[in-house]
Amino acid sequence: MKVLVAIDSFKGSLPATALAAAIATGIKEAAPGFTVVQAPIADGGEGMATVLVEALGGKTVTAKVANPLGKEITTAYAVLGDGTAVIETAAAAGLTLLPPAGRNPMHTTTLGVGQLIKAALATGCRNFIMGLGGSATNDGGMGMLQALGCRFLDEHGQPLAPEGASLGKVVKIDTTNLLPELQDCRFTAACDVDNPFYGPRGAARVFARQKGANEKEIELLDQGMEHFAGVVAQTFGAQFATLPGTGAAGGLGGACRAVLRATLKPGTDVVFSLLNLPAKVRWADLIITGEGRLDAQTAMGKAPAGVARLAKTAGKPVIALAGSIGEGASQLYDLGLTAMFAITDTAMPLAQAMQPDVTARLVTKRTKELFRLIKALA
């Protein structure tokens, strides 16, 4: 049997490469005659740059930028062999960069994302892939745009901080100092969700709660996003707010579309095409996929959903492994998933289960048990 391991990272625990290796170990121990190909994947979230560099070649470049609360950190972006810069929102504005007590999308910013773009521009990069998953922000892209030269002014002409709380106060966007090099650039935004900028399925109403906002703040953020979208549309002549993916990364997708003229694509389409994953799926007899948590959001455009669609098109069975399985995960069956399994088999604290060595052990153990059954039925 030919088995393809196309798995995303378990965020905060193990990167995709290590997970694929742990699964391959379990398969080889249970079914040593099976052929296994490891294909670590991503959907635009944390780990995308590493996956692409490992598969396609390139390098990582470090830079000092602002974290979601504006504090300086050292992070990195990637440059592929053809000179394409790969920038992850999660690397500068990621939820995992903040402790739970410090998370509040009213006051977080994508400033560091814009600083990464600016750093890559300075080295000559003009083609960009933006990974929009895993953000701690809901600033509509204000921070990114400020780093690239925009200023946001209130009704008194005073500058506003680039954060969620400022969205409803923006009256004018000053583009005088917007970097001219951007006109020569091509941006592809890899979105891990298909939500619009605002509204019932918009960035604030669907994602702000998990980023630390309460119900009142969610309402304010959604109203602010609607107001901000109008100012952006008037300034840049771009009607964008209803497009799928403009709500990704707390509206960063919308800013990329309206101001950077980015092409918005599902992150799985972008990454899977670069990795030639459709051909690998056609080769396989069975596909193993997964991510840290499978739930309703997974079906909105996360990596396992993309793999399930590919497998369904190719008529191949696909099994998902996850740290946990939540409400709404059954939607993945309609997309093409054959079965799903959580890796834990005994009760343990989440912090313990997420320790890299524990996660690897649990993944290998669950895989070994699964493939003992598959081998017996083959």
Task: Give residue-wise pLDDT tens across range 304-354.
Answer: 999 999 999 999 999 999 999 999 999 999 999 999 999 987 778 888 888
| 48-268 is a CATH 3.90.1510.10 domain | yes
The domain limits of the chain are 2-41+275-377, 48-268
pLDDT of residue 354: 86
Tens of pLDDT along 83-100?
999 999 999 999 999 999
Q: Going residue by residue through the chain, which has 378 residues, state the pLDDT in tens, using 9 for 90 and above.
A: 999 999 999 987 899 999 999 999 999 999 999 999 999 999 888 899 999 999 999 999 999 999 999 999 999 999 999 999 999 999 999 999 999 999 999 999 999 999 999 999 999 999 999 999 999 999 999 999 999 999 999 999 999 999 999 999 999 999 999 999 999 999 999 998 889 999 999 999 999 999 999 999 999 999 999 999 999 999 999 999 999 999 999 999 999 999 999 999 999 999 999 999 999 999 999 999 999 999 998 988 889 999 999 999 999 999 999 999 999 999 999 999 999 999 987 778 888 888 999 999 999 999 999 999 999 998
| Assigned fold of 2-41+275-377 | Rossmann fold (3.40.50)
Task: Note the pLDDT of residue 345.
Answer: 78
Three-state helix/strand/coil letters over the chain: CEEEECCCCECCCECHHHHHHHHHHHHHHHCCCCEEEECCCCCCCCCHHHHHHHHHCEEEEEEEEECCCCCEEEEEEEEECCCCEEEEHHHHHEHHHCCHHHCCCCCCCCHHHHHHHHHHHHCCCCEEEEECCCECCCCCCHHHHHHCCCEEECCCCCECCCCHHHHHHCCEEECCCCCHHHHHCEEEEEECCCCCCCCCCCHHHHHCHHHCCCHHHHHHHHHHHHHHHHHHHHHHCCCCCCCCCCCHHHHHHHHHHHHCCCEEEEHHHHHHHHCCHHHHHHHCCEEEEEEEEECHHHHHCCHHHHHHHHHHHHCCCEEEEEEEECCCCCHHHHHCCCEEEECCCCCCCHHHHCCHHHHHHHHHHHHHHHHHHHHHHC
